[in-house]
Amino acid sequence: MLRGLYTAASGMITQQRRHDTVTQNIANINTPGYKQVNSISHSFPDMLISLVGDKESASPHRIGKLSTGVFAEESLPSYLQGDLRETGKANNFGLASSLSLNDPATGLPIPFDASGKYVSEDGEVTYRPEAFFSVLDNNDQVRYTRDGNFTVNAAGELLTSQGQRVLGANGNPIVFPAGLSIDQVQSDSVGNLVYNNNGVPTALAQLGVAVINRPQELVREGNGVYRAQDPEVADVRIGLQPLDGAEVRQGFLESSNVDTAQAMVDLLAAQRAYESNQKIIQYYDKSLDRAVNDIGRI
């Protein structure tokens, strides 16, 4: 009976975490560049139940398997491309990413599915490469984001909406010359920023767009910001090339890729499953109460 209590309790904890993940997605529906997070649950190993002490049989009689509960293992982001929404503002930059990756064995492009994942015949999982803006946080650590809503501060530094400095392809923060407004800057498809200097087109910098071949190695830090524990393992390259399959679009912002309808379904499913496990615990509690106070008294 106590085993059932533990199983139901693990189910409640798992559904609570799933509920929290979905509400986080819903809260960020309007956050530019936000990537939906999916909660992954796994069951504990099943236990084999056998009947022991049977005098008529020399070996234990197998009854069956008993499930021991479920747990929320991790939360994985979905890097699917969000819709690019035109704003017409020069300080908005959207990334349209459709990067490809060749199979080392055949040299042919890997056929990723709609979720950006490919599973080979031997079960090996490969994820589609993704592009991010590279930025510096307050501790001068390199981070990655898809939020291209930039501003320029009094010092001429190009900043994200979270106040992080935007890096150029050379790895240094992008700094505007004194008196230059971001409205005077134009960007091409690979992030080269150019402004008109007395009738002469002058290069300012190239946006440090990071091409990450192993995005599954990224770690979420919140506010749409990610970090790479080991850039070599994540296979990070800074700077877009014309043939990369990704482009920068000025005057656009990438919307979040949260599926609103599916999020509401998941929210209700998590709530119903939580309530079901709660009812099971209440049932066990009443059974234990009767066992102690009624049967025990006899």
pLDDT in tens, 50-100: 656 555 555 666 666 666 677 777 778 888 899 999 999 999 999 998 888
What is the predicted pLDDT for the residue at 35? Answer: 92
Q: What is the pLDDT of residue 205?
A: 94
Lowest mean pLDDT among 13-17, 45-49, 154-158: 45-49
pLDDT at 70: 77
What does the alpha-carbon distance between residue 199 and residue 110 come to, in Å, rounded to a whole number? Answer: 46
Would you say 70 and 105 are in contact if contact means Cβ atoms under 8 Å apart? no
Percent of the chain's residues with pLDDT above 70? 89
| Of residues 73 and 16, more confidently modeled | 16
In order, the DSSP letters of 118-176 are: EE-TT--EEE--EEEEEEE-TTS-EEEE---B-EE-TT-BEE-TTSPEEBBTTSSB-BP
Cβ of 208: how many Cβ atoms within 10 Å?
25
What does the mean pLDDT of the chain come to? 86
DSSP secondary structure, 181-210, as one string: -GGGEEE-TT-EEEEEETTEEEEEEEB-EE
Q: Long-range CB contacts (< 8 A, 24+ apart) of 27-31?
A: 28/224, 28/256, 28/258, 29/256, 29/258, 29/260, 30/255, 30/256, 31/147, 31/224, 31/256
Say what the pLDDT of residue 64 is.
Answer: 65
Grouping H, G, I as helix, E, B as strand and the rest as coil, residue 15 is: helix
> What is the per-residue pLDDT across 153-203, written as a single tens digit (0 to 9) for each?
999 999 999 999 999 999 999 999 988 999 999 999 999 999 998 888 999
Query: What is the residue whose two structure tokens read 């994820």?
Result: 127
Burial code of 232-249, b = ≥16 C-beta within 10 A, e = fewer?
Answer: eebbbebbbeeebbbbbb
What ranges do the domains of the chain cover?
A: 2-77+259-295, 84-254
Alpha-carbon distances, residue 65 vs 45, 49, 50, 138 (angstroms): 10, 6, 9, 53
Instruction: Kindly state the average pLDDT of the residues 33-37.
Output: 91
Distance, CA of 255 to CA of 94 (rounded, Å) = 9
Torsional class of 171: left (φ above 0), alpha (ψ -120 to 50), beta (otherwise): left
**Residue 264 parent element (H or E):** helix 260-290
Mean pLDDT over 121-148 rounds to: 91
- Residue 228 has, within 13 A of its CA and on its CB side, a CA count of 23
pLDDT of amino acid 295: 67
Q: State the pTM of this model.
A: 0.81
- Between the CA of residue 104 and those of 101, 119, 210, 262, 272, what are the distances in Å? 9, 15, 22, 36, 46
Distance of CA 35 to the CA centre of its chain: 5
Query: Is 34 in contact with 258 (CB distance < 8 Å)?
Result: yes
- Cα–Cα distance between 189 and 66 in angstroms, integer? 57
pLDDT of residue 41: 76
- 207 close to 165: Cβ distance less than 8 angstroms: no
